[in-house]
């Protein structure tokens, strides 16, 4: 298969970080040649940046504070994220957004931290790596308000309804698809929507160590997801769209390279 890019891998998560060499080796064996390491708080964002320096041209990173951590984020945290976001090695601002599914942080805190990230993306000219879970009604007007000033944004791990998908595509946002699609229970509603996403707006991600694709055969012993399992998501997308895995690999890789400007960040 052609090279694949995993646009969302939480490689700083303890479960992956402690065996990173093996994880990266298995990813290469599956032709997952580039990965964007998700920064979800200050320490993972700093760690992610360090990884991009260690694995130049293979690992890239984002810097941000996940909505789950919005309630505890301090001004100091935000200034560290801001400083990181300006570095040339940092490819995007986020993960940021709203999560009203878990509600781990108070909603007003989530909204204000989200807006701070949007302002940072505008100031740096970098794309946004967005998280929206059960929060479309608030998320949409906020992102819409700033859209004209933003270069690009991807709604990662899209799990929403058709109306949300159309609204995001109307704003010319990109869509990230995870192994959620491969879940025969909760992924059902997503299946018919995949072919609605234009080729040049679709990107793929594992969100490892979360969301192990349920179509992997034979089933792995561990429930820990990793970038090497990305081809199973490609296969599912191929089933949904009628395109070949090769075509999906080509298109999603080209889209990710251009969205995150990976060839530029490599140098
Ligand atoms: Zn997320």
* 239-260: pLDDT as tens digits: 999 999 999 999 999 999 999 9
* 45-101: pLDDT as tens digits: 999 999 999 999 999 999 999 999 999 999 999 999 999 999 999 999 999 999 999
130 within domain boundaries:
yes
CATH number at residue 217: 3.20.20.140
CB 134 within 8 A of CB 97: no
123 CA to middle of ligand 1, Å? 23
Given this model, what pLDDT does residue 267 score?
Answer: 47
CB 114 within 8 A of CB 97: yes
222 within domain boundaries:
yes
How many distinct structural domains can be found in the chain? Answer: 1
Predicted structure pTM score: 0.97
253 within domain boundaries:
yes
267 within domain boundaries:
no
DSSP 8-class letter at 173: -
246 CA to middle of ligand 1, Å? 27
3 CA to middle of ligand 1, Å? 24
SS3 of 156, please?
strand
195 within domain boundaries:
yes
Q: With a cut of 90, say whether residue 265 has pLDDT above it.
A: no
Given this model, what pLDDT does residue 266 score?
Answer: 57
* C-alpha to C-alpha distance for 160 and 123, rounded to whole angstroms: 29
196 within domain boundaries:
yes
97 CA to middle of ligand 1, Å? 8
Closest CA to 33 of 62, 64, 1: 1
161 CA to middle of ligand 1, Å? 17
Q: Which residues contact 25 (CB under 8 A, 6 or more apart)?
A: none
156 CA to middle of ligand 1, Å? 6
266 CA to middle of ligand 1, Å? 25
Cα 218 to Cα 184, 195, 213, 232, distances in angstroms: 16, 27, 12, 12
151 within domain boundaries:
yes
Q: Name the average pLDDT for the chain.
A: 96
CB 6 within 8 A of CB 204: yes
Given this model, what pLDDT does residue 2 score?
Answer: 87
* C-alpha to C-alpha distance for 209 and 58, rounded to whole angstroms: 18
Across 105-128, average pLDDT: 97
22 CA to middle of ligand 1, Å? 24
157 CA to middle of ligand 1, Å? 6
| Burial per residue of 172-195, b for 16 or more beta-carbon CB atoms within 10 angstroms, e otherwise | ebbbbbbbbbbbeeebeebeebbe
Cis peptide before 179 (omega within 30 of 0): no
CB 179 within 8 A of CB 30: no
Q: Domain range for residue 229?
A: 4-262
214 CA to middle of ligand 1, Å? 19
Across 4-23, average pLDDT: 97
Across 189-197, average pLDDT: 96
102 within domain boundaries:
yes
| Concatenated DSSP letters of 84-125 | HHTSTTEEEEEEEEEETTT--S-HHHHHHHHHHHHHHHHHHT
CB 92 within 8 A of CB 56: no
40 CA to middle of ligand 1, Å? 9
154 CA to middle of ligand 1, Å? 11
Q: Which residues contact 140 (CB under 8 A, 6 or more apart)?
A: 164, 167, 168
* 121-174: pLDDT as tens digits: 999 999 999 999 999 999 999 999 999 999 999 999 999 999 999 999 999 999
79 CA to middle of ligand 1, Å? 22
Share of the chain above pLDDT 70, in %: 99
Across 168-193, average pLDDT: 95
| Concatenated DSSP letters of 193-230 | GGGGS-GGGEEE---BTS---TT-SSPPSS----GGGH
95 CA to middle of ligand 1, Å? 7
């Amino acid at each position: 298969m052609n090279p694949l890019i995993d646009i969302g891998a939480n490689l700083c998560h303890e479960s992956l970080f402690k065996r990173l060499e093996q994880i990266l080796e298995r990813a290469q064996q599956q032709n997952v040649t580039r990965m964007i390491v998700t920064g979800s708080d200050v320490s993972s964002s700093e760690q992610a940046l360090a990884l991009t320096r260690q694995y130049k041209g293979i690992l890239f990173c984002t810097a941000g504070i996940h909505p789950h951590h919005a309630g505890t984020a301090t001004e100091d945290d935000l200034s560290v994220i801001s400083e990181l976001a300006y570095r040339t090695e940092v490819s995007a601002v986020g993960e940021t957004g709203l999560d009203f599914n878990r509600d781990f942080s108070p909603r007003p805190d989530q909204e204000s931290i989200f807006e701070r990230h949007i302002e940072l993306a505008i100031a740096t000219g970098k794309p946004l790596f967005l998280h929206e879970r059960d929060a479309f009604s608030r998320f949409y007007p906020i992102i819409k308000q700033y859209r004209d000033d933003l270069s690009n944004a991807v709604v990662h791990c899209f799990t929403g309804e058709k109306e949300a998908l159309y609204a995001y595509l109307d704003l010319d946002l990109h869509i990230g698809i995870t192994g959620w699609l491969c879940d025969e229970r909760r992924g059902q509603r997503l299946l018919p929507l995949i072919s609605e996403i234009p080729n040049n707006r679709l990107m793929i991600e594992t969100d490892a160590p979360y969301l192990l694709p349920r179509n992997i055969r034979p089933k792995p012993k561990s429930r820990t997801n990793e970038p090497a399992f990305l081809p199973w998501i490609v296969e599912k997308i191929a089933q949904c769209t009628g395109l070949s895995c090769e075509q999906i690999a080509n298109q999603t890789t080209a889209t990710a390279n251009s969205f995150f400007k990976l060839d530029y960040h490599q140098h």
